Amino acid sequence: MNEERGLQEVKKKRVRLVVAYDGTNYHGWQIQKNGITIESELNHTLSELLREPIQVIGASRTDSGVHALGNIAVFDTVNPMPAEKISYALNARLPEDIRIQKSEQVAEDWHPRYCESKKTYEYRIYRGEFPMPVKRLYSLFTYHSLDVQKMQAAAAYLVGEHDFKSFCQVGAQVESTVRTLYTAEVEEQGADVVIRVCGNGFLYNMVRIIAGTLMEVGQGKRAPEEMQDILAACNRQVAGPTAPAHGLMLMKYEFL
């Protein structure tokens, strides 16, 4: 029997995680020399749990302070623990600001960055005379009034396939700055204004630059039609400022 076991092939499997986190206390997703990141917490905790060195691959390397309801990570393991059980075991060991929402086995060659997907982000703005403490970690405070209808009209110009170079941080290394937005909506939720974008991919800081630009439209500093000129310019200088990280939330990934 020992012999049989020895001859048995070690079965490697690929596991996909849906990862939710409060980004407040992390230096973003990607491993860094200084500071704890979501990736380093996952690698460390998975390696302990599965008793082998684990390195996850993340779908979206969110910035410091950005939150997620459903980022995606994959890793390979030879540990026989059923993929579906890993979420429970992992959540028992992770800090409470990171929680795995789902774990499941996927094809051995499945890679979160080399497959078609729809990503949804929300950027949340809270309008008031003064900041509201219980909202401070998950929304951008503004005392400016915002014309939500104008913001909606401006957002509509972004829908479709465009070169989003004007909405990409300078210096980002990408082959192409063309992306497709399926939807771009601006919604009032009480005192909050929520910008929701869904697309096949997002450039570095793209949602935050869209948010910063739409806020200028909402404040009357730009006309909604200017979005066409900003897109056509292919020049980061022409768009608005990059809105701060803490208002941004990666909502979900859908794989096509």
Residues near its own copies (CB under 8 A) are 20-22, 67, 69, 87, 91, 96-102, 128-134, 136-138, 249
Q: How far is the CB of 66 from its own copies (least distance, A)?
A: 11
Judged by CB, which is closer to its own copies: 138, or 164?
138
Question: CA-to-CA distance for 202 and 167, rounded, in angstroms?
Answer: 9
Q: How far is the CB of 25 from its own copies (least distance, A)?
A: 10
Judged by CB, which is closer to its own copies: 40, or 200?
40
Q: How far is the CB of 136 from its own copies (least distance, A)?
A: 6
The reply to whether 229 belongs to the active site is no
- The residues pairing with 14 across neighbouring beta strands, listed in sequence order, are 76, 106
Among the listed residues 22, 63, 147, 192, the single catalytic one is 63
Question: CA-to-CA distance for 154 and 181, rounded, in angstroms?
Answer: 14
Calculate the alpha carbon distances from 217 to 75, 150, 158 in Å. Answer: 42, 7, 14
Do 74 and 57 contact (CB within 8 A), yes or no? yes
Calculate the alpha carbon distances from 167 to 58, 104, 175, 218 in Å. Answer: 23, 35, 15, 18
Judged by CB, which is closer to its own copies: 6, or 133?
133
Residues assigned a catalytic role? 63
